Amino acid sequence: MMFVGRRGVVGAAVAAVVAGVTTSVAALPAGGEAARGDCPEARTKVERLEGRITPNACAFMRRQIAFGELPTGAPPAVGDLSHPRVKAYLDIFDEDATLWEAGSPPQRGHSVIGTSITGSLRLVPDLRYRGTDVVADGGVMMFGQWNEATLKGHKVAYPQIARNVLGDDGKSLQARRYYDRYALFRDTVPEMVPKGLFDGIADSGPAPSRGRTPEPVRAAEIPDRLAAWNGEDVDALLARTGNARLSGPGLGAPLATEAGKRAYLQRFFGTADVRFKAGQVAFGGTTTYVEWHGTVSGPKGKDIPFGIVERFGSGGEWELYFDTLPLVADQVEIGALFQKLAQP
């Protein structure tokens, strides 16, 4: 949602996550999805809405959608928390909320979060988004969205997952944003942007035979999946997803072949040494989101706050959401890129 954020929050340990997920699944209505009449105003604004849609989840979605649709008008002055669109943004968050975005520790509280969004709206006053695949699981919300903005005369568009833990009033207590900041620079400052992490990765080898769609992810699988990410176990990561198509940062089209998916993961692990904890999980009727968060170390820095969200979809989709920028540029280089982007 915001371009200038570089933040992080602490998640639950694996055992706590599994216990919480088990409770959440048990509480789901028959069929795993709330009645279609729940929160109809949100259903008309997103492509797909699944899960346990409690009143606080509905209230959050109304606020999230309202900010995405509201025109900025005259951009706010830096730190102007009275600007109408800044107020709409802050209405999403509890007064003491934390907000993490790629690359740095969390922001905390309305003053810090609001000041940050004023900088973003000055850079991209036409920022807008629409809801895509959204899963509500009571107090956990995974809000998929498609962001669009104009930067240096170029139309920029990219997917994002807004992950939130909600209070009873539907305001976010703990928020994380997963998207690839590299997309902001690829066409806007091509003279400065480094080579993309996944340049040249494409399908190769035999096309997969048609097989069964992988079974829905279950809470009991979380520890093994976490171990596979931390152990750079490409075989285990691929085995779970079967013939699912892989979408992720740096890809022009989903990867369908095992060779293509393997090359993508091997390129990632060849650059990124991740140390993850299990984060939040949201179960819908046909879609599951799983969050991993912690740090990454590589050629461009050590122990950088980092995370990934996986989406396992109803039609055999396997999607990854993460930021490639700290894997191809250090903090000085990233700062220079943002300075160049802000210049007229």
pTM, two decimals, is 0.89
Per-position DSSP letters for 291-326, written without gaps between them: EEEEEEEETTEEEEEEEEEEEE-TTSEEEEE---HH
Indicate the range of 6-10, 118-122, 135-139, 265-269 predicted with least confidence.
Answer: 6-10
Strands (DSSP E) contained in the chain are 46-52, 93-100, 107-108, 128-137, 140-151, 154-166, 172-178, 245-247, 273-283, 288-298, 301-312, 317-321
In angstroms, rounded to a whole number, what is the distance separating the alpha carbons of residues 196 and 177?
21
Is residue 29 over pLDDT 70? no
- The CA-atom distances, in angstroms, between 214 and each of 263, 266, 270, 288, 302 are 21, 22, 27, 12, 35
Using CA atoms, how far apart are residues 161 and 131, in angstroms rounded to an integer?
A: 10
Residue 10 has pLDDT above 50, yes or no: no
- Cα 335 to Cα 2, 10, 205, 322, 326: the distances in Å are 15, 25, 40, 19, 11
Report the chain's mean pLDDT, rounded to a whole number: 88
Residue holding tokens 């807004």? 162
The 10s digit of each residue's pLDDT in 75-109 is 999 999 999 999 999 999 999 999 998 777 899 99
Secondary element (H or E) of residue 206:
none
Whether the predicted pLDDT of 207 surpasses 90? no
- Compute and round to an integer the Cα radius of gyration of the chain: 19
| pLDDT > 90: percent of the chain | 80
**Alpha carbons 323 and 96: distance in angstroms, whole number:** 26
Q: Is residue 238's pLDDT more than 80?
A: yes
Over residues 229-248, the mean pLDDT reads: 94
**How many Å apart are CA 31 and CA 245, to the nearest integer?**
25
Between CA 200 and CA 61 the distance in angstroms is: 38
N-term to C-term CA, the chain: 22
Q: Are 311 and 322 in contact (CB under 8 A)?
A: no
The confidence score (pLDDT) of residue 306 equals 96
In the predicted model, is pLDDT for residue 110 greater than 50?
yes
Mean pLDDT over 60-69 rounds to 97
Q: Are 341 and 185 in contact (CB under 8 A)?
A: yes
The pLDDT score that the predictor gives to residue 211 is 64
309: pLDDT strictly greater than 60: yes
CB 119: neighbour CB atoms within 10 A? Answer: 18
- Check if the beta carbon of residue 177 is closer than 8 Å to that of residue 101: yes
Please give the pLDDT value at position 36. Answer: 45
Q: Specify the pLDDT at position 7.
A: 29
How far is residue 86's CA from residue 67's CA, in Å, rounded to a whole number? 9
Contact 86, 117 (CB under 8 A): yes
Cα–Cα dist 66/43, whole Å: 13
pLDDT of the residue at 101 = 86
pLDDT band at 314 (very low <50, low <70, confident <90, very high): confident
pLDDT at 212: 67
